[in-house]
Structure 1
Amino acid sequence: MSAIKKIGILGGTFDPPHVGHLKLATHFAKLLRLDALLLIPSGEPWQKGACITSAEMRFRLTEAAGIDLARAFLYLKISTQVGIDRIEVDRAGPSYAIDTVKALRERFGADASLTWLMGADSLVALPSWNSWEKLSQYVNFAVATRPHHDLKEQISSEVGQFLQEHQTKDAAALEKCAAGLIYIDESLNVDLSSTELRDRLKSSSRSAIASEQIPTHTLEIITNLGLYQ
Structure 2
Amino acid sequence: MNTAKKIGILGGTFDPPHVGHLKLATHFAKLLHLDALLLIPSGEPWQKGTGITPAEMRFKLTEAAGIDLARAFLYLKIATQVGIDRMEIDRAGPSYAIDTVKALRERFGANASLTWLMGTDSLVALPSWNSWEKLSQYVNFAVATRPHHDLRAQINPELSTEVSGFLKEHQTSDATALENSPSGLIYIDESLNVDLSSTELRDRLKSSFRSAVASEQIPTHTLEIITNLGLYQ
TM-score of the superposed pair, with normalisation by structure 1: 0.98
1:196 aligns with: 200
Percentage identity across aligned positions? 89
2:110 aligns with: 110
Contact 1:222 1:228 in 2 (8 A): yes
* Residue aligned with 1:89, SS: helix
Deviating beyond 4 angstroms after TM superposition, the runs of 4 or more aligned structure 1 residues are none
Shift of 1:147: 1.9
Contact 2:10 2:37 in 1 (8 A): yes
| C-alpha separation in 2, matches of 1:134 and 1:152 | 24
- Segments of 5+ residues of structure 1 without an aligned counterpart are none
| C-alpha separation in 2, matches of 1:178 and 1:132 | 17
Please list the CA deviations of residues 170-195 of structure 1 after superposition, one character each: whole Å capped at 9, or x if unmatched: 00000000000000000000110000
Shift of 1:4: 7.2
Which amino acid counterpart does residue 31 of structure 1 have in structure 2?
Answer: L
* Residue aligned with 1:88, SS: helix
Please list the CA deviations of residues 127-186 of structure 1 after superposition, one character each: whole Å capped at 9, or x if unmatched: 000000000000000000012332011121110100000000000000000000000000
| C-alpha separation in 1, matches of 2:171 and 2:4 | 21
Q: Which of 175, 178, 192 is the matching residue for 1:174?
A: 178
2:83 aligns with: 83
| C-alpha separation in 1, matches of 2:4 and 2:10 | 19
| C-alpha separation in 1, matches of 2:137 and 2:128 | 18
- Segments of 5+ residues of structure 2 without an aligned counterpart are none
Matches within 5 A, 1:1-229: 5-155=5-155, 156-229=160-233
| C-alpha separation in 2, matches of 1:205 and 1:98 | 38
Which amino acid counterpart does residue 87 of structure 2 have in structure 1?
Answer: I
C-alpha RMSD of the superposition: 0.9
Contact 1:24 1:144 in 2 (8 A): yes
| C-alpha separation in 2, matches of 1:150 and 1:84 | 31
